[in-house]
Amino acid sequence: MVPYIGKMAVEQRKWLDGDAFRDGVALCQTIPGATAMQTCAYVGFRVRGVAGAAASFIGFGLPAFLLMVGLSAAYVRSYTLSPVVAVFNGLQAIIVAILANAAVSFGRTSLKRLADIMTAMIAAALFGLKVSPILVVILAALFGLALSGKSAPPNLGIHSNTEAHRTRPLLILASVMALAFAVLFFVERRLFDLAAIMFRIDIFAFGGGFASVPLMFHEFVEVRSWMDGQTFLNGIALGQITPGPIVITATFVGYILYGLLGAVVATLGIFLPSFLIVIGVSPYFDRLRRSPRFSKAISAISCSFVGLLLTVTVRFASNIPWDLPRLFFAVVSFAALLLKVEIIWVVLVGTLVSLLFL
């Protein structure tokens, strides 16, 4: 999605020049959260400040949210029907292939040295031993900081009235979010827990939307058993059908647990933290990325997600009753993704073939 956003913002609308947009993409790839969503927020922020960031963020994410709510409602009413079972039998195998391809893609960009490979292997082993992936990410960051030596942290102080002016709306938004959490805590504790978990997942999902999958799987399937592995896989499959990021699966999780209100709370919980980070960090990113300590920590975190994705791929695969058709689906889908076929086409063709032959 990011190249399309760039074409619209740089070439068609001329809101930004190419260098500014590339700097924004670098920022959004560095901080946690769904990269495409954050890139939209960054473009809006550069054009119209915090209000523009909010307008872009909502405009990009709302269609996917509405479609996912509709798909989730349809899923609840029809998931036992034979045609629906057939479709998801094929899509579950395809999702395993998509996650395996994501692990390969992360590996190609992140694993460049022996230390990187060791970080990924250790992360995979710890996650395999049921260690919290959030703890794994923190350990990876500390390992990266240890490798960086004792270089001085970057100066991130505010240097202009413009930056101070942009800080005030950020503080207001953060205060409103804190108030909303407080209201949920006292009024509906279940929704508070859901929002808090999604908030925590987004804060630690470095590397884009796929990085949230191991965290979400750990929280909702392994730790709390709020849904089984196959249902979660089906949610990821529905997330790939929508025109939004894979992290829109949070909407499915919220809807399955607590209906429409749960979908709204889960969606806000999974997207708001990274939105606030984009508009909060954007004015200081040039200074931040010059820090060797920051770069090493982010690099180590990216390596750890290679291991986390690899492990969660194996766990998802273990939840599927494999037979020859599913194995064929997985292998062909993985090969297509390696050949750079768009994910949406792999999912749509897989849906059609599953409906006809499974």
Q: Assess if residue 46 is contained within a domain.
A: no
Q: Assess if residue 22 is contained within a domain.
A: no
Are the C-beta atoms of residues 198 and 226 closer than 8 Å to each other?
no
Residue 32: which region, alpha, beta or left (left: phi > 0; alpha: psi -120 to 50)? beta
Quick one: tokens of 259? 């209906």
Q: Assess if residue 319 is contained within a domain.
A: yes
Q: Assess if residue 223 is contained within a domain.
A: yes
Q: What is the pLDDT of residue 159?
A: 44
Are the C-beta atoms of residues 309 and 101 closer than 8 Å to each other?
no
Q: Which of 102, 92, 147 is nearest to 298 (CA)?
A: 147
Q: Any residues with CB less than 8 A from the CB of 212 and at least 6 apart, and which?
A: 34, 201, 202, 205, 246, 247, 249, 250, 270
Percentage helix, strand, coil for the chain under 3-state DSSP, each rounded to 5: 85, 0, 15
pLDDT per position as a tens digit, 180-219: 999 999 999 999 999 999 999 999 888 777 888 888 999 9
Q: What is the pLDDT of residue 109?
A: 81
Q: Assess if residue 215 is contained within a domain.
A: yes
Q: Assess if residue 180 is contained within a domain.
A: yes
Q: Assess if residue 328 is contained within a domain.
A: yes
pLDDT per position as a tens digit, 67-82: 999 999 999 999 888 8
Number of folded domains that form the chain: 1
pLDDT per position as a tens digit, 119-128: 899 989 988 8
Task: Give the structural domain span for 257.
Answer: 65-357
User: Residue for token digits 């020859």?
Assistant: 324
Confidence of residue 149 (pLDDT cuts 50, 70, 90): low
Q: How far is CA 168 from the centre of its chain?
A: 27
Mean pLDDT score, 29-55: 88
Q: Assess if residue 39 is contained within a domain.
A: no
